[in-house]
A and B are shown apart, each in its own frame.
Chain A
Amino acid sequence: MTHLPWFSTRRLLGGLIAVVAALLLLGLPGLVNSYQLFLACLVMTMATAGLGLVLIMGWSGQIVLAQAGFMGVGAYGTTSLVALGLPWPLAVLLAGLVAALIGVAIGLPATRLRGFYLAIATLAFAELMLRIFIEAEPITGGIAGLVVTPVVLGNLDVGGSRWYLCLGLAAVTALAVWRIGRSGLGRRLRAVRDADVAVGSLAISATRAKLLAFALSAFIGALAGAAYAQVLTYLTPHIFGLTLLIELLIVAFLGGVSYVGGPFLGAVVVIGLRELLQDIGSWQRLAFGLVLALVVGFLPRGLASLRSRIGAARRRRADTSTATPQARDVTAGVAS
């Protein structure tokens, strides 16, 4: 890894872009119409849910197919707790903790499972949660649905409040996930992914690391669900079904499942596809299926890997034409 000097044009440019992007995002309600703002809210929400998948699928390498269910727990939990009189932030936190507990409950047997066994168990669990959303009519309203009380921040209007809520949640989650990635837990998770059996000899408890990943990603899923409820304003059980699952998989994998920025890119594409193929659910689902197949088949490490791939190809070309063996060693060192 190379260290840039504290002042350089590259750093300055990067900082400038970040500041402009932040200002744009903060001022978005004044720049776009209410429908576009609604779409931007959806992007942030999907990205938040995808960040949970980065943790569990990207870093700890477990196939967990229950994130749509956790979003449902967050959405229904928060909405019904608010209806009971709790303030929204507290309701979100409680719903998140419930989801985390459920996550650990799935995780307990699941930490013994590997590969596709885990996929089956979590998919079966997601089905069960969907059934519960349908059956638990007193809480969820069943098939008939549930109206969500909008949260209003200060003297903002509903649309604006919703945007800052979604943006804030996405930003905080992205920051937290990024921090976790650089912490000891992040390193342990990746170690567990790469050598499940071997880490035992390094006094790393694979089970504990996996359970933490389950709890955290479920918690994040519930946060995203709470925001999703605010955006949709009306909940029915089938919102949290298979289509949401496949959308979340694209969100997580399109950009590259181990990058914190990946889900934001994926969410833009998913919401864009939803918009393009608005009225026809089947075309949407066909597009989602094909996009996921293409990503898995040709870009298993996502669009983010394109850059390093192109870079590698360029370096290889430079190597063969001009570089001396010594220079090649230097570039190889930089690349790693």
Chain B
Amino acid sequence: MSQQIISGLQAGSWYALMALAIVLVLKATDVPNFAMAEMGLFPAFCIWTLVGPLEQSYWLAVPAGLIIGAALALLVERVAIRPVLAESHFTTVLMTIAMFVAINAVTQLVWGSVPRTIDSPFGGSVTVAGQVVDAEQLVSIGAGVAVMLGLLVFFRSRIGVQMQAIAEDRVTPRLLGVSVNRVFRISWALAGMIATVAMLLQGQASLLTDQNGAGLVIKGFVAATLGGFSSVTGAFVGGLALGVAENLAGDFISTSAKSAVALLAIVVVLTLKPRGLFGRARAREV
């Protein structure tokens, strides 16, 4: 039981990280990014190449992967997203789905469909409060918490406040001398790095495959929906709750029930509390 909860928290941390990346981009640029997981999967495979075939140190490979993640996000933002930024969600959803498929295809072309294992330095297990916990699980959960706290601090910083101002109103901040494009770039680059962390953690705890992104991006969106899409803590708690609920359903009901949890969660939340468990209502414009 408690082992199930810990595995749930581990998977939940990946969902939460993906949700945080999605919320960050949505908050700043109002783009629901369905390519978010693929934008992290490509750099995660780069890390595998560095650690595996090229035999570099893990501690060198991870920063390199993060830089690649940020660069890829900047590229996608500049080439694909900025031309359609003024359009409706209808257009941006289609554009990010196109990016999702295209980036996934490139990943497949480079690394094929063979599952890879990343040799991470986190082996063995530790005992916390009488409970045996894998080091890998501790790392996942710890990374999730750290990124969430980091984002909370970030949103209170100067650039973070500018970002939220731009999300509300694109014109006034510009008049006050805020560079909207700079804020967009920073938010996309940060989100790209967070997505890289999520895909890396999932890849090194289980297997790294070209299919990982498709699964995780939906979970990330569900977690963000639970959290109401505007709150960092909401998205984080939503991710953890989804992970734990999935694991318990898988354990107590059946493995097929596990895959239904995410859908059930999204239907229930969107029907009963469309702004999420932590979101606030907003007036609709005609």
Contacts and interface: CB of A to CB of B under 8 A. Distances in A.
B225 A198 contact: no
A292 B101 contact: yes
A280 to B, nearest CB: 8
Interface string B48-83: 000000000000000000000000000000001001
Contact of B91 (A135, A246, A296): A296
A292 B94 contact: yes
How extensive is the interface on chain A, given as a class? 35 or more
A322 interface: no
A300 B259 CA distance: 34
Contacts of B102: 285-286, 289-290, 293
A63 B103 CA distance: 22
B218 interface: yes
Nearest to A292: B98
B173 interface: no
A94 interface: no
Interface residues of B, number: 43
Minimum-distance CB pairs A-B, first 9: A289-B102, A286-B105, A289-B101, A115-B89, A116-B32, A292-B98, A285-B105, A293-B98, A282-B108
A124 B263 contact: yes
Contacts of B106: 282, 286
A109 B271 CA distance: 6
Contacts of B83: 297
Nearest to B224: A120
Contacts of A296: 84, 91, 94-95, 98
Interface stretch (A26-34, A79-87, A125-133, A213-221): A125-133
B132 interface: no
Interface in A123-148: 123-125, 127-128, 131, 135
Interface in B144-193: none
Main secondary structure of the interface of B (DSSP, over half): helix
Given A128-B263, A131-B259, A246-B98, 19 more contacts: A63-B90, A109-B267, A109-B270, A119-B89, A119-B93, A120-B32, A120-B225, A124-B218, A127-B259, A128-B259, A128-B260, A197-B286, A282-B105, A282-B109, A286-B101, A286-B106, A293-B95, A293-B99, A296-B98
B119 interface: no
Interface string B94-119: 11011111111110110000000000
Interface of B: 32, 34, 80, 83-84, 87-95, 97-106, 108-109, 214, 218, 221-222, 225, 256, 259-260, 262-263, 266-267, 270-271, 274, 284, 286
A30 B263 CA distance: 49
Contacts of A283: 105, 109
Interface of A: 61, 63, 65, 109, 112-113, 115-117, 119-121, 123-125, 127-128, 131, 135, 195, 197-198, 242-243, 246, 249, 253, 281-286, 288-290, 292-293, 296-297, 300
A112 B101 contact: no
Contact of B270 (A112, A284, A289, A290): A112
Contacts of A124: 218, 221-222, 262-263, 266
Given A246-B97, A285-B101, A289-B101, A112 B108 contact: no
A292 B98 CA distance: 6
B104 A197 contact: no
A286 B109 contact: yes
A119 B256 CA distance: 23
Nearest to A280: B109
A242 B90 contact: no
A289 B256 contact: no
B185 to A, nearest CB: 19
26 contacts: A63-B89, A109-B271, A115-B32, A115-B90, A116-B89, A116-B92, A119-B89, A119-B93, A123-B34, A124-B222, A125-B263, A128-B263, A135-B256, A195-B286, A242-B101, A285-B102, A285-B104, A285-B105, A285-B108, A286-B102, A286-B106, A289-B101, A292-B101, A293-B98, A293-B99, A293-B102
B95 A115 contact: no
A198 B284 CA distance: 11
Nearest to B94: A296
A297 B84 contact: yes
